Amino acid sequence: MRLVAGLGNPGPEYAATRHNIGFMVVDQLAAQFGSIWERSTKWDALSSKCGAVQLVKPMSFMNRSGYPIFAIAQFYKIALQEILVVLDDLSLPLGRLRLRAGGGSGGHNGLESIIMQFGTEEIPRLRIGIGEAPHEESVDYVLSRFFDEEKPLVRSTIDRAVEAVKCAIDNGLLSAMNTFNPESSPAVRRDESVSPRRPDLQGKETEQA
């Protein structure tokens, strides 16, 4: 892997929201490598160089993530199979990781933008489970912050996601898939006996989800 792109929305109002877990993973990677984020004048993104690997955070909002990643890949002549996109996934339980070499967007606007820009679904990705939205309030849910009781699992999930990315960089995607994709990955389930909690909503524009 030569380019690792974490997906999210820019701005403090979106920091630490479920939709921004991709940002959290690449932020932790950059911190581990001692790398500094720099705003590019060529494309709307922050980038951080970690050895031979470019870490990227598009600053164009989620549903326009494709162009900055495509532009960076073109500029550095990075092949599709050398790109790894890190993103949140509503369909996976909180704490579950799933690496894949390609596939559809699953309704994720950021990934859909990337697929449209590159013109193919064959884009490696690491999906990180954020849990299913209650009462189908998916836009509000992904733009909400994690509940206090979820935060320990979120921290450990980010740690594992960082290790999965490092494994993919060092040993290839297949090795990372074999190591981090098992169905035995930890997950948290809400206690159905507890009244559903409404998300802590942040300011948002619907298109950003």
Q: Which residues constitute the domain of residue 38? A: 3-208
Tokens of 143: 């733009």
Domain count across the chain? 1
**Phi, psi torsion values for 106, nearest 5 degrees:** 65, 25
Helices (H) and strands (E) in the chain, counts: 6, 7
Q: What is the CATH number of the domain that holds 77?
A: 3.40.50.1470
Angle at 98 between CA 201 and CA 162, to 5 degrees: 75
Catalytic residue (choose from 18, 19, 96, 108): 19
* pTM to 2 decimal places: 0.86
Q: Classify 207 as helix, strand or coil.
A: helix
pLDDT in tens, the chain (209 residues): 899 999 999 999 999 999 999 999 999 999 999 999 999 878 899 999 988 999 999 999 999 999 999 999 999 999 999 999 999 999 999 999 999 999 999 989 999 999 999 999 999 999 999 998 887 578 889 999 999 999 999 999 999 999 999 999 999 999 999 999 965 344 444 333 233 344 443 334 334 56
Containing H/E element for 71? Answer: helix 66-75
Query: Quick check: is 108 catalytic?
Result: no
How far is residue 14's CA from residue 130's CA, in Å, rounded to a whole number? 15
